[in-house]
Chains A and B, each alone.
Chain A
């Protein structure tokens, strides 16, 4: 790793550390991979999720589907990304499974700033917390757009249905997306 992404190493893992259990501290399982920010690298993202040994089938499928949608949106709508990479991390804690994307994108920061759900985060960056799950109030069904002749909103609907929460955070040094499953 180089440049700003060298700062990733000391970042705390996504979510809270495991609590004590039967007198022993359980270590969180974690895998990280740096993936190119290009549309064809969706295959690398899928291969990464497939390679994580601590995921069960259902969680793996959810992660591939929801994570793939977000990865695809980043490489299509948030370019250019600094260094041309997205650092991807999968973590298992007692509290659940987490997928995180770390990158730096001005387009993403603008998107986060324009969101009605934006608020100033603890590191003075902008934080956007999108409600997830099929019961979330924003979770309307995808709509067919007759002008362009295709369905809209399928991807975001999938992400909300497949995850427990979705957090987009544009920070001063690094931008992040966290998805909890």
Chain B
């Protein structure tokens, strides 16, 4: 896979971003743009990370910034089903516990 595909879905008042591919130094700006837009439009944003094949520091920086923005605006941002590599990347920064995570939409 050589690109990051981002599919957007609305589920009631929730906005779901489904990521497929690598979030790396070359693709993180796509995520940044769509995530910020989703947070501007919805009070609850879910990022489905099951098919994420890489998560670089640039991608983590985007997620951290989005989480900070969401908390400041009293909105919710949740990572759904993070792939093994996504979990490892978040753990490696020491930030994993800051992110609300869920294994299924039913939990939310």
Q: Is A42 an interface residue (CB 8 A)?
A: yes
Q: State the CA gap A42–B53 with chains docked (Å).
A: 13
Taking CB atoms and an 8 Å cut-off, the chain A residues in 56-92 that contact chain B are: 57-58, 61-62, 64-65, 68-69, 72, 76
CB contact under 8 A between A42 and B92, given known A57-B84, A69-B57, A150-B65: no
User: Does more than half of chain A's interface fall in helix, strand or loop, or is it mixed?
Assistant: helix
* Total CB contacts across the A-B interface at under 8 A: 74
User: Does more than half of chain B's interface fall in helix, strand or loop, or is it mixed?
Assistant: helix
Chain A proximity mask over B32-55: 1 for CB below 8 Å, otherwise 0: 000000000000000000000111
Contact B93 A39 (CB under 8 A): no
CB contact under 8 A between A61 and B84, given known A46-B22, A46-B54, A69-B56: yes
Q: Is A40 an interface residue (CB 8 A)?
A: yes
Q: Is B73 an interface residue (CB 8 A)?
A: no
Q: Is A141 an interface residue (CB 8 A)?
A: yes
Q: Which chain A positions have C-beta within 8 A of B2?
A: 43, 47
Could you pull out 7 A-B pairs where Cβ atoms are within 8 angstroms? A42-B26, A58-B88, A61-B84, A64-B85, A68-B56, A76-B25, A151-B64
Residues of B within 8 A of A (CB): 2, 22, 24-26, 53-58, 60-61, 64-65, 84-85, 88-89, 91-95
A43-B22, A65-B54 given. 17 additional CB < 8 A pairs?
A42-B25, A43-B24, A47-B2, A57-B84, A61-B84, A62-B88, A65-B92, A72-B24, A72-B25, A72-B56, A76-B25, A142-B93, A150-B61, A157-B94, A158-B57, A161-B93, A162-B88
